[in-house]
Amino acid sequence: MILLMRKKVFIGGLFFCVMMCLLYFFYIFSENHQSALSEICNLFDKAIHWDKDYRLKEIASSSSSGYNLSDRNNSAVLCFGNHIEQITENSQQINLSPEEKQYRFDQSILLMENPIDVVVLDSLFNLALQQGGMINVHAALAYTANDDQTVFSNPDLTFYKSACALPPITTGVKNEIVLQAYVEIPFYCVINRSKGHFIIVGVIFCLLLGLLIATRYSKKFATPVCEEPRKLIKIKENILFDEGKGILFYNVDIKVSLENYKLKLFILLLNSPGHFQTSEDIKKIVWGKTGATNDTLNTTIKRLRADLKPIPDLKIVHENGGYRLEIL
């Protein structure tokens, strides 16, 4: 009982350690996955800035003279060519740095003169991912301007349903441009970010799991089977019989095992009055409905005599149309 309790406590402790190791694995995986998403967000923003610079060069325009701020009414004047528009800034835009305001103005101007090409931006985004070590990350973009129809860089729209959507990036003076990236990060890419850490956790997990399985099925810790003590039949002082196992013990050091019909025949003769049964009764009782011929009975008697040969005090004798177990 004490051994069984120790086994249960030990297995319970191992199981707890295995589960904690598994939970820790998922925790560090989640942390690395979130870290990767954060880096990808920064790379996406970097690609958007690249795209803006390229489009500005294409129209050979300097936008710095087209964005005028008014401190009195928290407004801005958007000027480009013949287009002049006064825009009231909201509380978030007021707190932006001059550089960020200039960047938003550039995006608004470019929206009119040289709008975003999602295919080009997608290429720049993938280039930024490669430079950032995210080579095997699959990415695609969604682009919306002035609440118009959304344009996708990947024609396979099922990708957008299965991929992880990054937080949308809004830009432009009136937040009229919305860009959103969708990415799929392979499992091994997340693992590679902390490969050594994952290897250590994996090794510890496998060792604990192996120890748990080995302990569960170890013979050393096997649950002892409580068997009822067998009662040995005393045939003589020096002959004992274990009827359940069919074993005869003679002078302590000699052991004879009986089985099948030989065992049934021996038990029948041992328990019969005078240890005698007729041949016909033996065939009916030992073989039952299957029946037995005289040859079958004679063969079984012959084999039983051979088994009892190490015990000279037990004999099977033929008499009066039957057989008797003679105990000398």
Task: Give the least confident one: 58-62, 126-130, 291-295.
Answer: 58-62
**pLDDT score of 13 more than 90:** no
* pLDDT on residue 88: 56
CA 323 – CA 313 distance, rounded (Å)? 16
| Distance, first Cα to last Cα, the chain | 46
Give span(s): CATH 1.10.10.10, the chain.
233-327
Question: Which structure tokens are listed for 108?
Answer: 């608004």
* Element (DSSP H or E) covering residue 301: helix 294-307
* pLDDT on residue 4: 63
CA 69 – CA 82 distance, rounded (Å)? 19
* pLDDT on residue 3: 61
More confident residue, 141 or 71: 141
C-beta separation of 204 from 21 below 8 A: yes
Residues 230-252 pLDDT 10s: 678 888 888 888 888 888 888 87
Question: Which structure tokens are listed for 289?
Answer: 């409905």
Question: Computed over its alpha carbons, how large is the radius of gyration of the chain?
Answer: 46
Residue 213 phi/psi, 5-degree rounding, is: -65, -45
**pLDDT score of 63 more than 60:** no
Question: Which structure tokens are listed for 70?
Answer: 């008014």
CA 244 – CA 263 distance, rounded (Å)? 10
C-beta separation of 201 from 28 below 8 A: yes
pLDDT bucket at 44, cuts 50 / 70 / 90: very high
Average pLDDT (189-201) is: 74
CA 125 – CA 146 distance, rounded (Å)? 22
* Element (DSSP H or E) covering residue 235: strand 233-236
CA 87 – CA 77 distance, rounded (Å)? 6
In degrees, to the nearest 5, what angle opens at C-alpha 122 toward C-alphas 121 and 126?
115
pLDDT bucket at 64, cuts 50 / 70 / 90: very low
* CA proximity to 42, closest of 123, 103, 117, 128: 128
Burial string for 75-113 (b: 16+ CB within 10 Å, else e) reads ebebbbeeeeeeeebeeebeeeeeeebebbbbbbbbbee
C-beta separation of 79 from 145 below 8 A: no
Mean pLDDT of the chain: 79
Task: Give the least confident one: 7-16, 36-45, 75-84, 160-169.
Answer: 75-84
**For the whole prediction, is pTM greater than 0.75?**
no
Average pLDDT (162-186) is: 90
* Element (DSSP H or E) covering residue 122: helix 118-131
**CATH for 233-327 (1.10.10.10, 3.90.1010.10, 3.40.50.261, 1.10.8.10):** 1.10.10.10
Share of the chain above pLDDT 90, in %: 16
* pLDDT on residue 23: 84
* CA proximity to 37, closest of 187, 185, 143, 155: 185
Residues 103-116 pLDDT 10s: 888 888 888 888 99
* pLDDT on residue 51: 92
Residues 206-230 pLDDT 10s: 877 777 777 767 655 444 444 455 6
* pLDDT on residue 234: 82
* pLDDT on residue 293: 83
* pLDDT on residue 12: 75
C-beta separation of 166 from 132 below 8 A: no
Q: Cα 114 vs. chain centroid, distance in angstroms?
A: 51
